[in-house]
Each structure stands twice: as C-alpha cells, then as structure tokens.
Amino acid sequence: MNSNLANQLLASIMKWDAPTLASERAALEFMGSMKYDAYDRYMPGMRFMSSLVQWLNDIKEEDRDKAYKFIKEKLVFISSMQMNYLVDLLYDSKIRPILLDMATVETDMSSYKRSSKVVRTRFEIEKRSALVIGLSDGAHTDILRRSAGFNNEQVLTNYYPDGKKLEDMLDELRKDEKLKVIEKPFFRRIFLIDDFTASGKSFIRFDESDGKYHGKLKRIIDELCVKSCIKKGQKIEHLSYLLDPEQKIQIDILFCIATEKARTNIKDSLDNYLKSVNWRDKVEFNIHIVQILEDKLSIDIKTDKDLVKLLKKDEHFVEECVISKSYKVGKNDNPWLGFDECALPVVLAHNTPNNSLPIIWQDAERFHGLFPRISRH
C-alpha cells in the first residue's frame, strides 16, 4: 500500500478533513520512518501506516478516536538501536562493576586502588572466568559478547548445550594464558541475560495445580546444582561440569528492560524454590535491571475507564487468538490486559511481548494486530 493511498484511507476511516489529515500525517510519517516501520514482524511490503489503517478499520467506529489517541500518546516502542544501547549498558553498568568488585576482594585491595596493576590483572582473570548464558532468542548475547570483549567459549546462546560444547568451553578456559596462575580453573560467576520481562513468571513460578516449580531459571538452577563428577569415558550432560563443586554458585540475572513486579516475583519465587530443595546455602543470586518500566505505565491503562471498556469489547478482543495454556499461567481474570494482567503499552522492535495489551499484537482474520506478535522461546 503506497503512502498516498494509506493517507486517503486513514482520512476516510477517521473522518478527517483535509487540514486534520495534513496535521496528523506529518506526525504519523515521522513516527513511522523513525521507529515503527522497522518492526521486525511486519510482512514483506507492510509498513506502519498500512498496518494502522487496517487496525483502525477493525476498531468500532465510535472507539477509533480513543484508539488513535492511545497509539499517539501512550504507546512505548523500543527500537533496535535503543535495545542495542541497553545491551551495551549491561556490561558497562552492571557486569563490569561486579567483576571489578570480585577482583578487588580477591586481591585484598582497597577500593581506591582499583586501577592498580594487581587489580587489573585479577580483573582479567575474573572476566575470562565469567560464564554468560542467554535466556531467550532476544538476549542479544552476540552484541554483548562483542561490546564486552568476551571470548566465544564463555558465551552460551541457550541454557541447554550439548556435552561436547561444555567440554570445549572448559578446555579453552584452562588453556587461556590469563589463567595460568590458577591451578585448576573453573567458571566462577554466571551471568544470565535476557532483554525483557514484565511478570517474571516465564522465568520461575510455583504451579499450585501440580505443586511444583517451573520456568527457565528453575531448569538452569537444576543444571548448575546437579552433581557432575565426570569420570573418564562418561558422558558430560550438565552445566555443573563447568563449575567448581566445592564453591558456592554465584549467579547474576540481568535484564535490559523489566518491571519492579517482575524483579519481586523472580526474587521471591527463586528464594522459595532454593529453600524447598535445600540449596539456599549453595546458590547466591542477584537481579539487575538496566531500564526499569515504571508502574505508572500500567496504572494509567487500568485507570482509564474508557480505554478499558474499548479493550474488553468482543469486537476488539480475540480470545481464541490470545488465551493459551501458557497464557493461563498468569493472572487471567481480565485477559484483555495482557499476560498476567500487566497492561503494558510496550512494543519491542523484534517482537511484541504478550504482557502488552492484546489489542496491539493479537492477529486474527477478524482483527489485525497493529504490531503482530510471534511466540518466542
């Protein structure tokens, strides 16, 4: 759809006169060219303006002004450039200070002597001994590896590598000249990376229906804590192969963007899980967030009565497209507010999280998402 046709259709759908169209067109084309057109999940040839026309056409006529105002005033779009910047900050503002603290403690130096050669040498040891693991395909571990200068053999793009990969990683670590002063090197600190979380429930949660804990962090903790005493000829199967079994496991969980709700949910659930399996003295963890999404984002949505009325209309909420088994894991009394009722007006350039309002991302024959979403792993 060319831009002139899109503008004509938009004016017709919104019942704009020529001056209104001229005024709105400039803002829309600017938003599209600067950010929205780059949304990764658009079909070939699709752009923001044509998607907006289709989306507004699916909105009931009496609700279109409200829907349009929501997009103009409340939508938060995180571009690829912004996300890449946040990934860079993961190292500079979070990981590097942690490694520097470790080096300072290991050398028994005062904090004001951090620039000394002794601390810098130890810092390189701690940096090479860090294990970086991506928690999803949105973790951007390739960008982090390049910006931080990590070795290829200390970064995992997922948390289920095969035994050969684990063996190679530990072999390469022990061959590294930086660690020649260490008698038998292991990876010393684990950094778990992801781009976004709003509820934290995909990472760890307690399911009352089966009385068990589930989620990515639960599976990783199990992998790290299981005994991995490998004898010659035995198959290497677990991440614990990379760690010194005599040392406490130090884990830092890092997100580029997250809510305080997610931080609290992850901390409480992970604490409770570690206590339930008697591993609290075996694992120490911290949670770090580069950019916190303020509660005000979702509060403004939930307290806007007219907007909530629009969101919950049958014409604007495609239940069969939104609600799935995994969706029901979260709070689900008002499913039109997104997964776990997070009510976020957020779109990421590479995908829209299901914590965002379904009216933004649901995509069905009778209602087309403005920023259609695909499920992630």
pLDDT tens digits, residue range 222-251? 999 987 655 445 678 899 999 999 999 999
In this structure, are 38 and 124 located in the same domain? no
User: Among residues 293, 320, 348, which one ends one of the domains?
Assistant: 293
Domain membership flag for residue 234: yes
- Show the beta-strand stretches assigned E in the chain: 76-78, 130-134, 155-156, 189-197, 205-207, 212-214, 249-259, 283-293, 346-348
Contacts of 97 (CB under 8 A, 6+ apart): none
The backbone torsions φ and ψ at residue 159, rounded to the nearest 5 degrees and listed phi first, read -105, 20
Which tokens go with 66? 């409200």
Tell me the residue range of the domain where 160 lies.
80-293
Domain membership flag for residue 377: no
Q: Give buried/exposed letters for 260-271 (b at 16+ CB in 10 A, else e).
A: ebbbebbbebbe
Domain membership flag for residue 371: no
In this structure, are 100 and 186 located in the same domain? yes
Global pTM reads: 0.93
In this structure, are 155 and 303 located in the same domain? no
In this structure, are 149 and 48 located in the same domain? no
In this structure, are 265 and 149 located in the same domain? yes
pLDDT of residue 332: 87
pLDDT digits (tens, 9 = 90+) for 46-64: 899 999 999 999 999 999 9
pLDDT of residue 338: 96
Q: What's 93's DSSP letter?
A: I
Whether 269 contacts 205, CB under 8 Å: yes
